[in-house]
Structure formats: C-alpha cells, structure tokens
Amino acid sequence: MNGAEALLRTLTASGVDVCFSNPGTSEMQSVAALDRVPELRGILCLFEGVATGAADGFARVAGRPAATLLHLGPGLGNGIANLHNARRAQSPVVNVVGDHATYHKRYDAPLESDVAGLARSVSRWFRTSARADDVGPDAADAIRAAYGPPAGVATLVLPADLSWTESSRGPGPAVRKPPLPRVAAEQVEDAAKALRSGEPAALLLGGAALRPDGLGAAERVGRTTGAKLVAETFPTNMARGGGLPPVERLAYLGEMALAQLDGVRHLVLAGARAPVSFFAYPGLPSDLVPEGCTVHVLATTAEDVAGALDDLAEAVGARGGNAPVDAGTVPDRPTGALTPETFAAAVGHLLPEGAVVVDETVTSGVFLPEATAAAPRHDWLTLTGGAIGDGLPLATGAAVGAPDRRVLCLQADGSAMYTIQSLWTQAREGLDVTTVLLANHSYAILEFELARVGAGAGGDRARALLDLSRPDLDFVAIARGMGVPASTARDAGELADELEGALATPGPSLIEAVLPGR
C-alpha cells in the first residue's frame, strides 16, 4: 500500500473513522484511498473552517478525534480560527495537512508557504512525515498526541510524494484513548481543607467536571460544605437538564464575574483555569481572582477531574450517590414579540431529550441558561476560544458524532457568516441539525464593546462597521441556496411552531428568528 492508504488504515485502526475534508491536488492520493478504506467516512466541506470546526464538534460529543484533510498552508490558514477554538476546548483533533512533494518544496511553487509556522500556533503536536514508511507510525503518534492528556490538536503534514510512494511498513499501531491520571492525595486534601475552613469558598468547574459524574460530585461537595459552584465561562461540553445541578457559568463581563466571586476566599479549580477577563478594558482588571482569595488546583484537564471531585466529596464527608436536583420548571410555550426572553422560552419549552445544543448566540442568548435548566438531559457546547464562526461547524460535526441525537444550533447572524458554508455539508450528509439563526442585523456585542473600551457610542462611520444591515442578510435565501430548508419566525409563536416542526423533521433546517436589534 502507498503512504496515503497507510495513513487512512492507521486512522481507522484507532477508531478515527471520520475525516472532514477540503482537499486539493496534493491530497488526491488520500482521497483516492477512501475507496480502498471504506471504514473511513470522508465528508466534504466547502471551506476549511467548516472542516476544523466540525472536527472539534465531533470530538466534543463523541469523545474521540475525527481527522481533517486540508490543502497546504493556505488551506490550513482557513482552518486556523476553528483549530484555535478546538485548542481551547482541548478537543482531540487529528489535523492532516497535505504539502508539496518533498523534492518540490525547494522550487517555491506558488502554493509553497510556511506550513509549520501556521500549524504550531494551534497544535500541541506537529510533525512532517519524512518518508512513506513513516506515515503510518507518524499518524499513530498524531492520534496519541491528540488524546494527550491534555487533549488537543495534532497536526501531521503529509508531503504529496509520500502519499503515492509504497510504504513497506504500512499502518502504524492502533492507539487507544489513555486513562486520565488520578490526582495526588495532597491536592484533594488541600482543597478539602479550604472548603472546611469555614471561609467563603467556590468550586470553579470546567472540562470533565461539567459532565454528569463531575457535576453530581460537585453538587454533593457544594451541598455539604456550602461552597458555591460556578462553571467556566465557555465550557467545551456542559451536561445540563434532567435533574443535573444547574451550575451558573462565570460571566463574560469581568465586572459581573467579579460580582459572582465577591467575598470568595478560596477558589478551588476543577478542570478550569483561574479566571481572567476575556479582553482588557481601560481601568478594569485582567485577573478576576478576588483580592485575598487563594486559588487551589484540585485537578487540571490533564487529570481525572471527575474522580478528583469524587475524592473531594469523600474527603469533606459528602457521601452517597449523586441525586437529581430540582432545577425549576420548563417555561411555557411563548407568545407575543420575539425577544431574547421569548426566544429562550421557546428553546426551553421544546428542547428534546438528548439534544446537543451549540450556542453561538453571543448577545442574544442571555436568558437561555435559566430557561433550559429544567429541560430534559442535554449537552451545551460553547465558543471556547472566542474565534467567532464556530457554531455552524460545531453543529455539523456534533451531528456526525452523535447521529442518534438532535443538534440544535443557536446562532448569531454576524458570527454565522464566517462559516456559512457549513449548511451545505449539513444538507449533503442529511444531518439532524436545527439552526435558529438570530437576526439582529448587527455585531451587537461590538456596539456594546465600543463603549466599554472607552470609545463612546461611536459616530455614524464607526457604527456602520458594526451594522449588518444595508443590505439585510436574508438567511432563508442563503440556506435554501445551500440546500437547507428554511423559514422565518417574526414572533414567539411562529418561532415555537417552526422550531417544533423542525425538531420533529429528519435532516437539517434553518429558522431565521428576526429579533429587534436596531
């Protein structure tokens, strides 16, 4: 077999059986090998940021990596923003980038560029295969590196000639997901001591601490010790509903986050990092740990966070199993004007059991956490790295990774336009993704940020750069142009009706929810 086939067989031997692809000439051998390795599902994306974001979404729900197939430096460049989000999500991704033939690189052909320089910024592991015989073992190393812990993006560069050259070694060894190391007893004891001190304490939960086991153990710790539970601002995949404790997320705005943590003397980190402001603002702090508060690291994402929370529960005397929590009531079916409140109520009212919610609502989603807390069990995926344009790709990949579940993508209009090509892949693959496209016709968050950086309200020329009208984007037309059925909801009742219908219909659809915004 040639190097390309060795690559594909290494992937499938390790359970990496999906490849989100936007190939070019230098990747044609890998494309051709798909016919010889039918275990690998090649999924065409019309833009590389769709492929990388989909790989992230896949990993977040499937718990194992997908591969990508990108075309040289510029293709990798197009995938960088969502690889950045995947890096922040600590999602395992096997990022395969084709390159010119080894002997061709010195000619500086038009597509030649510094692939390594681009890849290193987002990759926890990077390698360029040197010989066809190495491709299989290198691919196995890439999978191993993607798993970590901590998990992340592993970029393997495959020069074109290695893919068409015979590989005498064939595939590399199968790689399995490694177990996470347990934390040292001292870490648990240090956290337990802090929580037993009688001083105000909080647990900041992230990563696996936001999965059901972690949440349950954390809830017991909080109930027993009085410690406050707070989730990181942008979780990779937070389990919610169905009796899970509805943990409040740390606010995006530093001032609000500081208010949430006000008076806390011990901050115990479980799979989360010490909180910092998303951006800097004149006169506001970057570090959001309250003054006089001691930070305790119970577990990092490279450790068994859920196990550490169990150990902590034991140490503070919070024995027994995890019990369902009363998280209030499901909202009534909304009527009247379409507002952030009624939008959230429609989602909370209709959210089906097992849904995967992808949340790139930006400013319009403020009422969602409360409105969905009492919904059936679901998962919540957020914009971990702040690089907007992740929602539609995440939803695409999540639907591939969880084919028996409904994906609900809650998507702001400005952010949608970075990776709108995702809709076509949803149509081609017949993915069960329902997108609610929140159209406020502005980069509303930036209108807000303009004032926060001390630039005032902005004049006409500044505001024109934050305004998505003139002309209005017609997302119904755009979605239909990519083969996705679409409709418009102009009030809350219409949204509930459209959403109910869409959730019950196989395949993708998009509902443009017209919000007041100007």
Interface with a copy of itself in residues 113-152 (CB under 8 A): 113-114, 117-118, 120-122
* Angle in degrees, CA 387, 389, 393, rounded to 5: 120
Element holding 295 (H helix, E strand):
strand 294-299
Helix ranges (DSSP H) in 34-184: 48-62, 72-89, 115-120, 132-147, 160-164
Of 226, 263, 481, 516, the one binding a copy of itself by CB under 8 A = 481
Cα–Cα distance measured from residue 454 to residue 447, given in angstroms and rounded to the nearest whole number: 12
- CA atoms within 13 A of residue 73's CA, in its CB half-sphere: 15
Q: Is 63 left (phi over 0), alpha (psi -120 to 50) or beta?
A: left
* 3-class secondary structure, 475: helix
384-413 mask for a copy of itself (x: CB under 8 A)? xxxx-x------------------------
Contacts 24+ apart (CB under 8 A), 326-331: 326/243, 327/241, 327/243, 327/244, 327/245, 327/246, 327/373, 327/374, 328/246, 328/370, 328/373, 328/374, 329/374, 330/374, 330/375, 331/371
Q: Is 77 in the site for a copy of itself (CB under 8 A)?
A: yes
CB of residue 461 vs a copy of itself: minimum separation in angstroms?
A: 4
Three-state SS at 8: helix
Tokens of 495: 């949204």
- Quick one: tokens of 17? 């059986």
Distance in Å, CB of 308 to a copy of itself, minimum: 23
Q: Which of 458, 493, 507, 517 binds a copy of itself (CB under 8 A)?
A: 458
Name the minimum Å distance from CB 355 to a copy of itself. Answer: 25
- Nearest residue (CB) to a copy of itself, 314 versus 449: 449
Q: Tell me if 477 contacts a copy of itself by CB under 8 A.
A: yes
518 binds a copy of itself (CB under 8 A): no
Our CB check for a copy of itself shows the closer of 106 and 319 to be 106
CA 437 to chain centre: 18
Residues 61 and 89: beta-carbon distance below 8 Å: no
Interacting positions 253-292 with a copy of itself (CB under 8 A): 273, 276-280, 282, 286-287
Nearer to a copy of itself, 222 or 393 (CB): 393
Residue closer to a copy of itself, measured from CB, 85 or 487: 85
446 binds a copy of itself (CB under 8 A): yes
Chain positions 298 to 337 lying near a copy of itself, rule: CB under 8 A, are none
Site string for a copy of itself, 155-184 (x = CB under 8 A): -----xx--x--------------------
Q: Is the CB of residue 267 less than 8 Å from the CB of residue 201? A: yes
Q: Which of residues 204-243 bind a copy of itself (CB under 8 A)?
A: 234
Find the binder of a copy of itself among 80, 305, 330, 373 (CB under 8 A): 80
Asked if 503 interacts with a copy of itself (CB under 8 A), we say: no
Identity at 364, one-letter amino acid code: S
Residue from 175, 356, 362, 420 binding a copy of itself (CB under 8 A): 420
Per CB under 8 A, the list member of 478, 492, 513, 514 interacting with a copy of itself is 478
Nearer to a copy of itself among residue 276 and residue 366 (C-beta): 276
Q: Which of 163, 152, 193, 196 is nearest to 55 (CA)?
A: 152
Residue nearer to a copy of itself on the CB measure, 30 or 322? 30
Half-sphere exposure of 421 (CA within 13 A, CB side): 15
Q: How far apart are CA 50 and CA 433, in angstroms?
A: 15
Tell me which stretch binds a copy of itself (CB under 8 A): 31-39, 263-271, 366-374, 395-403: 31-39
Pairwise CA distance, residues 185 & 446, whole Å: 46
CB of 407 to a copy of itself, least distance (A): 19
How many residues form the binding site for a copy of itself (CB under 8 A)?
101
The dihedral of CA 191, 195, 198, 204: what is its sign?
A: positive
Among 198, 292, 320, 459, binds a copy of itself (CB under 8 A): 459
CB of 436: closest distance to a copy of itself in angstroms?
17
Q: Which is nearer to a copy of itself, 140 or 486 (CB)?
A: 486
User: What binding mask, one character per residue, do residues 365-384 give for a copy of itself by CB under 8 A, x or -?
Assistant: -------------------x
